[in-house]
């Protein structure tokens, strides 16, 4: 009988299977955090900008992005906000991996797209994460094209207008953007060099097109809306990182009635206190830009919101420009405009009030909460 | 003490006749051990393959594959752009060697892997980064690393189709005990492409689709590319080695059969020894059923002990066999690493059950016979012998019926391998039943020469066999089976080897051959450098060249091995066709009209001369006609041959992988061999340059390696047979103690007695050997013309080798002689008077 | 276990017109040529005959082991040849005991086990068997040889065990075939005494087959088998 028991035991033991391992994820921040800065070019001094060439890629720098946000309105008054971002980050300096393989040593591209539907009170976002490989993603200058799989930003030749074509699972964004307006291109920081912390090289080259007249279609729930409005286009490239005591930032891009455009980013430390390297620009209607410093700008978080993921964001702000004695109230179109993707942050359409009157629209981005 | 007295009597009898019992135990133990070992080895190999495929396939449902050049990378980009929401991942796969071992190199894109596999995603971000950026970083399973003595940070040397590359182990994955991904190296797709020198193409695209999506995708895919279901492809691969594994199992069952016969034999003796006892029991009123159960109980105990011992021995043996099985599968079919023996409970259970069932059936016959004995036979011996002689016509009838049944099965079963084995079994059993009927005439035949040679002793010896047929009959039958098994297997392997040798000699018509060593990619062999052909042609002494391109294509029936050949004048002689070919064969072949296919290919796919064979080219499906079927023992998968020009046109591939060099008549080989080796040395990738003779030798070496496992099994069967012979003879002679005592008492000297015993056992050995020859030959015929044909698709002439027959006879005689030693020595030492006392 | 009561004085054994011949080569030699026999209870009968006279054959038939070609054998009113093989075996088990010339003990069973075997076959429990084995062994004077094996005993001792085994289950009939044939005169005499004495004591019918007049004369009744025919009395026609 004993051997029968032994046999039964054997059967039992081999019958037990291990529980399946939890699905693993590839984290972009994880990848980013491990990338060395060595071998990449750094933004140390102001440089000559030349367009349209500089719309294209700068592979010698580690990170780069093409960042579109905009407030759009349909014919029948429906309010939309949109965001389309193409991030590139390189894992190794270009040319460091010598291989004939088209997958070798090339940058990783991440694209974020989002729609805020004010009337429907909802926010939809999607992400793509690929490597360049045999043409899965990339940037070209002539003709101008930035793409991640089938999401695309392109132009005929290298001139305006630019076209954005995004088909996501739940929505579609097809837009045309005009770049030549009264404002045109603005170089941020010190002639385009935006220093992020004291260490030289911890900076990026940064320019914006703060007001791009936009027309196009947004498709949501099967319905296509003809829309128009203004977009804000930010371009940055560099090999910088946040310094250890900088936990995140709050970034404002506001398009005010009267033609003014304000950009300000506040870097925060672990206590939540503003960092001295916070900076911004105020651009007048005719394109005169003035730098904003942390002394000049006072930001107060007015209202906090807790997202379903448990993170608390200050979604309402008071922005006071001391030198002009102006206070702008920034209120979100919708509280929940959190981007819960590989990177988690809040990016959403906002309304701007001055002295309780609606005086503009814009976008607010909050990271590091 | 609890337990029936009848049972106790039986058990104690076994206890007292320890040697007999041990031999019985050994017989069944060996048989069970072989069955278990083969079962476990096969199971482990199959399971390992399954598990590895599961892990590699993960949640992949479909795959896009193409022909020899692989998929263009651009296809993947197009797919992603067209259908961004269908989960897809690019895969590059190849074969690398570390020392002697063959491993699979899997190149993946971690960013695409989430829907499919966790292999790359479970690594920490730092390692993922390294994967994506290093030139030569790999992941290896913890289990493999342990086994090979590697760790994170180890640098290893990979042999990739002859080129040596170095790589670094970035991390280990998986559990220490998990053998699931043993033999698989995982790396980034870029690294894989670099190591395998496969730029711009993928081996496949993995997908997770439902039916509608699959249909949609099929419509969109361009020509030259196929969407297949993973399950079916994996199943097709598993099939490849199935025939080989089935053959192993069958041979192991043969060993068990021999073991069973031994049990039958010893049980018969044991019962006969005690027929008086059983008579008494019946006399006292034990029913037939009670006696039957008592005998069966004690035999089952032996069977049980034997099975348990066999199980233990089987597990030990399995480890060795596993290595052999894996090596053969690697050599012949696909890369497989199994280092862990899985003690599959169902195999252990099945093996044990088989052992017990065999014992049961083997022992029930003598047990039943014992109950047939009426109690009156207690006092009479001659009744038994008369009865066993009376049974002879019945045995003859059943025996012939069995063999006829076997013949019918062969006819009726057409292609079924299992039925082929069943037919073999019927033949064997039928013949063995015939053996006792053939013993009397044979022994009478031998009586006169023996008497002439050895005098009275000789006559006694031979008459003794006939007179005690009830005991000698089964013994000789068991021996016959065992010897026949070794003869049969031996002839089969010899025939095969001879045929392969001859075929090689005929096929390899050229004098010198240049090839690139076996490729890293599973798809195509590495090509020879372009300039080689011209340069070799220009060498003085070279008369003609033949060239070939080996490649794997897709067809309706799955992957096809294709040889695109540019024939030299003499090459034609290398083809030996089976049956008729289409008229004007070579002319039409040269124009690209016709294909030639090998015999196994024709057999497996049921094709005949004149049939159509469509093949998948990059531009779509092209239909060809089969012009002839040729003999090919190079592989059991089959080969398709077409002219190289045609292939180059259709598949846009002008490369060659083999170059055959025909020298002018009278030209000495050595200097040209050296010259060509020098030329070949200039190539980037190491090339193999071999003379005709070398190729023959090396091929036969591989053949021998492949058949090592068969040889091992044969040895095991011989071991079982040996034990059987010894046990049978010993039991027989020990049982005769009384007669021997009488002989001694009547004046035979110990030496003469030894002579008589030896002679008798030798004679039995000789009879068994003589009877084994036809059976062995018959078994070989079935193995060659039925089993091998159905398993692999090869037909070949079976060759009767006198060496094997002599070997077998010698073995039988030696074993018999040894077996006779112990009883005669024992007899010599005992005083006749003691032995004369009634038990 | 109950004794068979024969209240009506019904004969225990009735043999009617038993005929049997052996085939050897082409001839048929009649061995039993119309045997008639009646045995009442508690008789001790000697069956006398030369070797080869067929007395062993007759004994086998009485035991139900052999089947006669013609004739009827009734044991306790039952025609044994009308019974199935199994029923005959059961009858034998219950009603018949054997003592043979060559002891026929099972060599791998101890004395006690050998003796107890008939009881086990008849379904008795071990405890009861032990008790009865003890009793009968002392009756035959071998109470101290429980655990010995037959090959450790002398011829006479073995035959005593055989007798014990034959009688332990209180069979209706005890058949003894040349019980002293393998023993020397003195031991043989002893054995015979035990056999006949114990049978009488236990009130069993005993049929002894022998070729020795001396042996036959110790029985109550002598029947002579000669030329296939049974006749009363001890006249041997040599």
* Interval C52-81: pLDDT, tens: 777 778 888 888 887 888 888 888 878 888
On whether both B760 and B785 belong to a single domain, the answer is: yes
DSSP state of C133: H
Please indicate whether, in this complex, the C-beta atoms of B284 and C63 are within 8 angstroms of each other.
Answer: no
Q: What is the pLDDT of residues B2-19, one digit of tens each?
A: 468 888 888 888 888 887
On whether both B756 and B609 belong to a single domain, the answer is: no
On whether residue C169 sits in a domain, the answer given is: yes
Q: Evaluate if residue B735 carries a pLDDT over 70.
A: no
Rounded distance, CA C72 to CA C78, Å? 10
Structural domains of chain C, count: 1
Chains in contact with chain A (at least 3 beta-carbon pairs closer than 8 A): B
Q: What is the 3-state secondary structure (H, E, C) of B290-337?
A: HHHHHHHHHHHHHHHHHHHHHHHHHHHHHHHHHHHHHHHHHHHCCCCC
Q: Evaluate if residue B837 carries a pLDDT over 70.
A: no
pTM, two decimal places: 0.71
Residue B376 has what pLDDT? Answer: 62
Q: Looking at chain B, which residue has its C-alpha nearest residue A167?
A: B84
Contact B704, B697 (CB under 8 A): no
Q: A131 forms bridges with which residues in the sheet?
A: A108
On whether residue B713 sits in a domain, the answer given is: yes
On whether residue B394 sits in a domain, the answer given is: no
Measure the CA dihedral B494/B497/B501/B507, to 10°: 130
Q: Evaluate if residue B272 carries a pLDDT over 80.
A: no
Q: How far is A245 from chain B (nearest CA, A)?
A: 22
On whether both B719 and B793 belong to a single domain, the answer is: yes
Residue B1 has what pLDDT? Answer: 36
Rounded distance, CA C220 to CA C45, Å? 6
Q: How far is CA B495 from CA A172, B331, B798, B804, in A?
A: 72, 21, 5, 11
Residue A165 has what pLDDT? Answer: 94
On whether both B84 and B9 belong to a single domain, the answer is: no
Q: Evaluate if residue A208 carries a pLDDT over 80.
A: yes
Contact C110, C147 (CB under 8 A): yes
Chains in contact with chain C (at least 3 beta-carbon pairs closer than 8 A): B
CATH number of the structural domain spanning residue C128: 3.40.50.300
On whether both B311 and B367 belong to a single domain, the answer is: yes
Taking CA A264 as the corner, what is the angle to CA A260 and CA A266, rounded to the nearest 5 degrees? 165
Do you find a cis peptide bond into B655, omega within 30 degrees of 0?
Answer: no
- Give mean pLDDT, residues B16-39: 83
Chain A residues near any Cβ of chain B (below 8 Å): 3, 7, 10-11, 14, 21, 23-27, 30-31, 33-35, 91-92, 96-105, 108, 128-131, 133-136, 149-150, 167, 169
DSSP-assigned states of every residue in A58-119: -TTSSEEEEEEEEEEEETT--EEEEEEEEEEE-SS-TTSS--S-TTTT--EEEEEEEEEETT
Q: Which domains does chain A have, with CATH numbers?
A: 49-366 (2.40.370.10)
Q: How far is CA B593 from the centre of its chain?
A: 38
Q: Looking at chain A, which residue has its C-alpha nearest residue B129?
A: A31
Residue B387 has what pLDDT? Answer: 63
On whether residue C217 sits in a domain, the answer given is: yes
Q: Which residues of B touch C126 (CB under 8 A)?
A: 2
Residue B384 has what pLDDT? Answer: 57
DSSP state of C65: S
Residue C205 has what pLDDT? Answer: 87
- Give mean pLDDT, residues C166-177: 89
On whether residue C28 sits in a domain, the answer given is: no
On whether both B528 and B672 belong to a single domain, the answer is: yes
Q: Which residues of B touch A3 (CB under 8 A)?
A: 308
Residue A14 has what pLDDT? Answer: 36
Please indicate whether, in this complex, the C-beta atoms of A134 and B77 are within 8 angstroms of each other.
Answer: yes
Percent share of chain C, pLDDT over 90: 8
Q: Which residues of B touch A150 (CB under 8 A)?
A: 80-82, 84
On whether residue B214 sits in a domain, the answer given is: no
Of residues B752 and A363, more confidence is placed in: A363
Contact C62, C88 (CB under 8 A): no
Please indicate whether, in this complex, the C-beta atoms of B839 and C107 are within 8 angstroms of each other.
Answer: yes
Q: What is the pLDDT of residues B619-670, one digit of tens each?
A: 878 888 998 898 887 766 778 888 888 888 888 888 888 888 888 888 888 8
Of residues B148 and C9, more confidence is placed in: B148
DSSP state of A43: B
- Give mean pLDDT, residues C27-39: 79
Rounded distance, CA B665 to CA B662, Å? 9
Q: Given B686, B718, B749, which residue is the final one in a domain? A: B686
DSSP state of B526: P
Residue C9 has what pLDDT? Answer: 53
Rounded distance, CA B308 to CA B305, Å? 5
Please indicate whether, in this complex, the C-beta atoms of B84 and A128 are within 8 angstroms of each other.
Answer: yes
What ranges in B568-691 are assigned the alpha helix state H? 585-590, 599-604, 644-651, 669-681
Please indicate whether, in this complex, the C-beta atoms of C121 and B376 are within 8 angstroms of each other.
Answer: no
On whether both B124 and B198 belong to a single domain, the answer is: yes
| CB proximity under 8 Å: B 252-281 to C | 276-277, 280-281
Q: Evaluate if residue B469 carries a pLDDT over 80.
A: no
Please indicate whether, in this complex, the C-beta atoms of B349 and A7 are within 8 angstroms of each other.
Answer: yes
Structural domains of chain B, count: 4
- Give mean pLDDT, residues B309-318: 90
On whether residue C211 sits in a domain, the answer given is: yes
Q: Evaluate if residue A151 carries a pLDDT over 90.
A: yes
Contact B43, B321 (CB under 8 A): no
On whether both B477 and B610 belong to a single domain, the answer is: no
Residue in B700, B590, B607 with CA at minimum distance from that of residue B641: B590
Q: How far is A87 from chain B (nearest CA, A)?
A: 15
Of C60, C90, C117, Cβ closest to residue B5: C117
CB-based contact, B176 to chain A, within 8 Å: no
Of A34, A101, A130, Cβ closest to residue B129: A34
Strand ranges of the sheet holding C70-75, from the earlier edge strand across to the other edge: C27-39, C13-24, C70-75, C78-79
Q: Helix, strand, coil shares of chain A as percentages rounded to 5? A: 5, 50, 40
Q: Evaluate if residue B247 carries a pLDDT over 60.
A: yes
Percent share of chain B, pLDDT over 90: 4
Rounded distance, CA B155 to CA B201, Å? 27
Longest dimension (CA), chain B: 104
Q: What is the pLDDT of residues A327-350, one digit of tens each?
A: 999 999 999 999 888 888 899 999
CB-based contact, B284 to chain C, within 8 Å: yes
On whether residue B23 sits in a domain, the answer given is: yes
pLDDT bracket for residue A4 (50, 70, 90): very low
Q: What is the pLDDT of residues C181-209, one digit of tens each?
A: 878 888 888 888 888 888 888 888 888 88
A/B touch flag: 3 or more CB pairs below 8 Å: yes
Residue B683 has what pLDDT? Answer: 75
Structure tokens, B65: 């594959």
Q: Is A292 exposed, middle or buried, given 0-12, 13-18 or 19+ CB atoms closer than 10 A?
A: buried
Stretch among A69-78, A127-136, A356-365, B402-411 having the lowest mean pLDDT: B402-411
CB-based contact, B189 to chain A, within 8 Å: yes
For residue C136, give its domain range.
42-65+85-231
Please indicate whether, in this complex, the C-beta atoms of B129 and A91 are within 8 angstroms of each other.
Answer: yes
On whether both B706 and B674 belong to a single domain, the answer is: no
Q: Evaluate if residue B422 carries a pLDDT over 50.
A: yes
Rounded distance, CA B351 to CA B42, Å? 13
Stretch among B348-352, B477-481, B607-611, B821-825 having the lowest mean pLDDT: B821-825
Q: How far is CA B468 from CA B333, B455, B729, B734, B735, in A?
A: 53, 20, 13, 14, 11
On whether residue B569 sits in a domain, the answer given is: yes
Q: Which residues of A touch B111 (CB under 8 A)?
A: 26, 108, 129-131
Of residues B329 and B74, more confidence is placed in: B74
On whether both B126 and B104 belong to a single domain, the answer is: yes
Q: What is the pLDDT of residues B42-68, one digit of tens each?
A: 888 888 777 777 777 778 888 888 766
Structure tokens, B645: 């020009």
Helix (H, G, I), strand (E, B) or coil at B169: strand
Please indicate whether, in this complex, the C-beta atoms of B111 and A21 are within 8 angstroms of each other.
Answer: no
Q: What is the 3-state secondary structure (H, E, C) of A290-322?
A: EEECCCCEEEEEEEEEECCCCCEEEEEEEEEEH
Rounded distance, CA A193 to CA A187, Å? 8
DSSP state of B525: P
On whether both B346 and B460 belong to a single domain, the answer is: no
Q: Looking at chain B, which residue has its C-alpha nearest residue C177?
A: B379
Rounded distance, CA C207 to CA C205, Å? 7
Identify the H or E element spanning A267: strand A261-269
Q: How far is CA A231 from CA A77, A119, A362, B131, B392, in A?
A: 17, 20, 9, 39, 105
On whether residue C77 sits in a domain, the answer given is: no
On whether both B535 and B666 belong to a single domain, the answer is: yes
On whether residue C74 sits in a domain, the answer given is: no
Q: Looking at chain B, which residue has its C-alpha nearest residue A26?
A: B121
Structure tokens, B422: 């069943």
Residue A153 has what pLDDT? Answer: 93
Q: What is the pLDDT of residues A30-87, one digit of tens each?
A: 555 556 777 888 888 888 888 888 888 898 888 899 999 999 999 888 999 999 999 9
Please indicate whether, in this complex, the C-beta atoms of B125 and A31 are within 8 angstroms of each other.
Answer: yes
Please indicate whether, in this complex, the C-beta atoms of C60 and B376 are within 8 angstroms of each other.
Answer: yes
Rounded distance, CA A157 to CA A144, Å? 6
Q: Which residues of A touch B203 (CB under 8 A)?
A: none
Q: Evaluate if residue A5 carries a pLDDT over 50.
A: no
Phi, psi angle pair for B812, to nearest 5°: -60, -45
Q: Evaluate if residue A23 carries a pLDDT over 70.
A: no
Identify the H or E element spanning B717: helix B708-735
Residue in A246, A241, A197, A193 with CA at minimum distance from that of residue A37: A241
Q: What is the pLDDT of residues A291-319, one digit of tens each?
A: 888 888 999 999 999 999 888 999 999 99
Of A99, A104, A135, Cβ closest to residue B77: A135
Please indicate whether, in this complex, the C-beta atoms of A25 and B344 are within 8 angstroms of each other.
Answer: no
Which residue spans within C3-75 are E strands per DSSP?
A: 13-24, 27-39, 44-48, 70-75
pLDDT, averaged across chain A: 84
Q: Which residues of B touch C152 (CB under 8 A)?
A: none
Q: Given B660, B686, B712, which residue is the final one in a domain? A: B686
pLDDT bracket for residue A125 (50, 70, 90): very high
Q: How far is CA A333 from CA A115, A336, A347, B659, in A?
A: 12, 9, 11, 75
Measure the CA dihedral B774/B777/B778/B781, to 10°: -160
DSSP state of C82: G
Q: How far is B255 from chain C (nearest CA, A)?
A: 34
DSSP state of B785: I
Chains in contact with chain B (at least 3 beta-carbon pairs closer than 8 A): A, C
Q: Given B360, B380, B400, which residue is the final one in a domain? A: B380
For residue B91, give its domain range.
71-202
On whether residue B209 sits in a domain, the answer given is: no
Residue in B234, B248, B351 with CA at minimum distance from that of residue B42: B248
- CA torsion sign for A184, A185, A186, A190 is negative
- Give mean pLDDT, residues B355-371: 85
On whether residue B215 sits in a domain, the answer given is: no
Please indicate whether, in this complex, the C-beta atoms of C86 and B287 are within 8 angstroms of each other.
Answer: yes
Tell me what ipTM this predicted complex has.
0.86
Residue A329 has what pLDDT? Answer: 93
Q: Evaluate if residue C236 carries a pLDDT over 70.
A: no
Of residues B188 and B238, more confidence is placed in: B188
**Interhelix angle B288-332/B18-57, nearest 10 degrees:** 40
Residue A45 has what pLDDT? Answer: 85
- Give mean pLDDT, residues B569-582: 79
Stretch among A78-92, A99-113, B117-131, B535-549 having the lowest mean pLDDT: B117-131
Q: Looking at chain C, which residue has its C-alpha nearest residue B3?
A: C126
Helix (H, G, I), strand (E, B) or coil at B528: coil
Q: What is the pLDDT of residues B673-702, one digit of tens each?
A: 888 888 887 777 777 788 888 888 877 787
Residue A31 has what pLDDT? Answer: 57
CB-based contact, B15 to chain A, within 8 Å: no
Phi, psi angle pair for B298, to nearest 5°: -70, -35
On whether residue B236 sits in a domain, the answer given is: no
Residues 6+ apart with CB under 8 A from B469: B385, B388, B389, B436, B439, B440
Please indicate whether, in this complex, the C-beta atoms of B84 and A33 are within 8 angstroms of each other.
Answer: no
Stretch among A234-248, B595-609, C104-118 having the lowest mean pLDDT: A234-248
Q: Which residues of B touch A35 (CB under 8 A)?
A: 129
């Amino acid at each position: 009988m004993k051997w029968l028991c032994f046999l039964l035991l054997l059967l039992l033991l081999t019958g037990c299977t291990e529980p399946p391992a939890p699905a693993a994820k590839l984290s972009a921040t994880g990848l980013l955090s491990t990338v060395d800065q060595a071998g990449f070019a750094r933004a140390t001094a102001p440089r000559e900008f030349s367009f349209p060439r500089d719309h294209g890629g700068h592979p010698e720098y580690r990170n780069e992005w093409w960042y579109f946000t905009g407030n759009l309105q349909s014919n029948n008054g429906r309010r939309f906000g949109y965001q389309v971002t193409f991030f590139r980050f390189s894992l190794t300096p270009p040319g460091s991996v010598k291989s004939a393989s088209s997958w070798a040593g090339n940058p990783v591209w991440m694209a974020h797209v989002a729609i805020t539907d004010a009337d429907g009170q909802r926010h939809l976002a999607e992400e793509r994460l690929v490597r360049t490989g045999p043409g899965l993603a990339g940037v070209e200058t002539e003709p101008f094209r930035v793409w991640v799989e089938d999401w695309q930003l392109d132009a005929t030749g290298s001139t305006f207008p630019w076209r954005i074509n995004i088909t996501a699972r739940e929505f579609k964004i097809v837009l045309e953007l005009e770049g030549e307006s009264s404002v045109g291109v603005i170089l941020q920081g010190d002639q385009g060099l935006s220093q992020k912390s004291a260490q030289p090289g911890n900076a990026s080259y940064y320019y914006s097109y703060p007001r791009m007249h936009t027309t196009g279609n947004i498709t949501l729930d099967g319905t296509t809306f003809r829309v128009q409005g203004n977009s804000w286009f930010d371009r940055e490239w560099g090999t910088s990182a946040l310094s250890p005591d900088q936990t995140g930032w709050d970034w404002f891009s506001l398009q005010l009635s009267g033609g003014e455009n304000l950009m300000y980013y506040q870097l925060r430390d672990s206590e939540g206190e503003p960092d001295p390297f916070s900076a911004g620009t105020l651009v007048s209607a005719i394109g005169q830009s003035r730098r904003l410093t942390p002394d000049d700008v006072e930001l107060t978080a007015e209202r906090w919101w807790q997202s379903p993921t448990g993170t608390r964001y200050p979604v309402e702000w008071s922005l006071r420009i001391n030198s002009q004695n102006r206070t702008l109230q920034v209120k979100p179109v919708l509280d929940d405009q959190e981007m819960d993707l590989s990177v988690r942050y809040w990016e959403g359409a906002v309304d701007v009030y001055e002295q309780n009157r609606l005086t503009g629209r814009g976008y607010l981005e909050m990271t590091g909460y | 003490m609890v337990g029936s007295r009848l049972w106790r009597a039986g058990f104690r009898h076994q206890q007292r006749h320890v040697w007999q019992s041990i031999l019985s135990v050994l017989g069944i133990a060996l048989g069970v051990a072989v069955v278990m070992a083969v079962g476990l080895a096969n199971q482990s190999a199959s399971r390992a393959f399954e598990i590895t495929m599961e892990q590699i396939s993960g949640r992949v449902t479909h795959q896009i594959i193409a022909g020899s050049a692989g998929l263009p990378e651009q296809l993947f980009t197009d797919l992603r752009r067209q259908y961004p929401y269908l989960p897809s991942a690019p895969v590059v796969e190849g074969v690398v060697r570390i020392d002697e071992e063959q491993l699979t190199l899997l190149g993946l894109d971690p960013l695409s892997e989430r829907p499919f596999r966790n292999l790359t995603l479970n690594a920490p971000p730092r390692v993922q980064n390294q994967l994506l950026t290093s030139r030569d970083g790999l992941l290896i399973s913890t289990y493999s690393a342990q086994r090979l003595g590697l760790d994170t940070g180890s640098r290893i040397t990979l042999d990739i189709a002859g080129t040596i590359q170095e790589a670094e182990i970035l991390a280990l994955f998986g559990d220490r005990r998990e053998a699931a991904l043993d033999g698989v190296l995982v790396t980034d797709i870029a690294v894989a492409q670099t190591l395998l020198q496969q730029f711009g193409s993928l081996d496949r695209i993995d997908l997770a689709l439902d039916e509608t999506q699959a249909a949609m995708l099929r419509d969109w895919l361009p020509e030259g590319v196929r969407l297949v279901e993973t399950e079916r492809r994996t199943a097709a691969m598993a099939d490849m080695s199935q025939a080989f594994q089935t053959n192993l199992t069958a041979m192991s069952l043969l060993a068990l059969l021999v073991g069973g016969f031994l049990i039958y034999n010893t049980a018969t003796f044991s019962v006969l020894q005690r027929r008086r006892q059983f008579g008494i029991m019946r006399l006292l009123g034990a029913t037939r059923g009670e006696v039957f159960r008592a005998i069966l109980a004690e035999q089952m105990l032996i069977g049980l002990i034997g099975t348990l011992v066999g199980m233990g021995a089987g597990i030990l043996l399995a480890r060795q066999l596993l290595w052999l099985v894996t090596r053969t599968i690697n050599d012949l079919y696909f890369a497989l690493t199994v280092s862990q023996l899985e003690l599959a409970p169902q195999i252990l259970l099945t093996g044990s059950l088989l052992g017990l069932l065999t014992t049961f059936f083997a022992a029930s016959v003598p047990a039943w016979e014992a109950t047939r004995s009426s109690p009156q036979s207690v006092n009479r011996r001659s009744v038994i012998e008369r009865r066993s002689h009376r049974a002879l016509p019945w045995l003859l009838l059943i025996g012939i019926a069995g063999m006829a049944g076997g013949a019918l099965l062969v006819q009726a079963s057409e292609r079924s391998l299992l039925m082929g084995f069943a037919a073999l079994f019927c033949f064997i059993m039928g013949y063995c039943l015939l053996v006792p009927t053939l013993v009397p005439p044979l022994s009478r035949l031998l009586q006169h020469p023996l008497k002439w040679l050895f005098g009275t002793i000789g006559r006694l010896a031979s008459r003794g066999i006939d007179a005690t047929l009830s005991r000698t009959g089964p013994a000789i039958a068991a021996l016959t089976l065992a010897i026949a098994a070794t003869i049969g297997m031996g002839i089969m392997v010899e025939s095969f080897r001879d045929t392969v040798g001859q075929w090689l000699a005929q096929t390899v018509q050229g004098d010198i051959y240049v090839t690139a060593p076996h490729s890293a990619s599973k798809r195509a062999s590495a090509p020879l450098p372009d300039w080689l052909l011209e340069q070799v042609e220009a060498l003085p002494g070279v008369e003609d060249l033949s060239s070939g391109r080996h490649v794997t294509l897709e067809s309706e029936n799955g992957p096809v091995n294709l040889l695109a050949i540019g024939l030299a004048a003499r090459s034609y002689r290398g083809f030996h066709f089976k049956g008729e070919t289409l008229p004007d064969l070579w002319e039409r072949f040269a124009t690209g009209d016709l294909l030639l296919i090998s015999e196994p290919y024709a057999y497996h796919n049921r094709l005949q001369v004149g049939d159509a064979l469509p093949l998948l080219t990059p531009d779509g499906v092209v239909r060809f006609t089969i012009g002839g079927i040729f003999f090919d023992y190079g592989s059991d998968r089959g080969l398709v041959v077409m002219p190289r020009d045609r292939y180059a046109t259709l598949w846009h591939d002008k490369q060659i992988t083999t170059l055959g060099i025909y020298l002018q008549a009278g030209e000495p080989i050595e200097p040209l061999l050296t010259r060509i080796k020098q030329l070949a040395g200039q190539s980037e990738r190491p090339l193999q340059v071999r003379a005709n003779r070398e190729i023959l030798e090396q091929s036969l070496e591989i053949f021998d390696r492949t058949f090592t496992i068969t040889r091992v099994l044969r040895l095991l069967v011989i071991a079982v047979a040996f034990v059987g012979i010894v046990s049978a003879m010993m039991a027989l002679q020990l049982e005769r103690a009384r007669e021997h005592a009488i002989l001694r008492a009547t004046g035979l000297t110990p030496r003469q007695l030894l002579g008589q015993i030896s002679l008798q056992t030798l004679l039995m050995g000789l009879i068994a050997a003589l009877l084994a020859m036809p059976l062995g030959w018959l078994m070989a015929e079935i193995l060659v013309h039925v089993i091998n044909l159905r398993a692999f698709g090869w037909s070949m002439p079976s060759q009767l080798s006198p060496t094997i027959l002599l070997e077998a006879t010698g073995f039988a005689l030696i074993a018999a002689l040894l077996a006779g030693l112990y009883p005669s020595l024992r007899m010599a030492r005992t005083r006749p008077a003691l032995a004369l006392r009634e038990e | 276990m109950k004794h068979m009561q024969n209240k009506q004085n019904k004969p225990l054994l009735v043999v009617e017109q038993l005929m049997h011949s052996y085939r050897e080569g082409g001839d048929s030699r009649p061995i039993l040529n119309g045997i008639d026999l009646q045995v009442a209870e508690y008789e001790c009968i000697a069956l006398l005959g030369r070797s080869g006279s067929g007395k062993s054959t007759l004994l086998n038939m009485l035991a139900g082991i052999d089947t006669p070609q013609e004739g009827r054998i009734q044991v306790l009113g039952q025609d044994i040849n009308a019974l199935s093989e199994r029923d005959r075996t059961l009858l034998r088990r219950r009603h018949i005991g054997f003592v043979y010339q060559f002891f026929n003990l099972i060599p791998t069973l101890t004395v006690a086990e050998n003796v107890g075997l008939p009881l086990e076959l008849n379904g008795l429990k071990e405890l009861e068997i032990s008790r009865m084995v003890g009793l009968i062994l002392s009756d035959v004077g071998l109470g101290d040889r429980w655990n010995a094996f037959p090959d450790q005993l002398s011829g006479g001792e073995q035959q005593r065990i055989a007798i014990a085994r034959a009688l332990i289950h209180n069979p209706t009939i005890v058949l003894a075939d040349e019980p002293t044939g393998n023993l020397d005169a003195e031991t043989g005499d002893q054995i015979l005494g035990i056999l006949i004495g114990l049978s009488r004591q236990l009130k069993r019918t005993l049929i002894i087959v022998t070729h020795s007049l001396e042996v036959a004369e110790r029985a109550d009744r002598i029947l002579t088998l000669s030329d296939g025919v049974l006749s009363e009395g001890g006249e041997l026609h040599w």
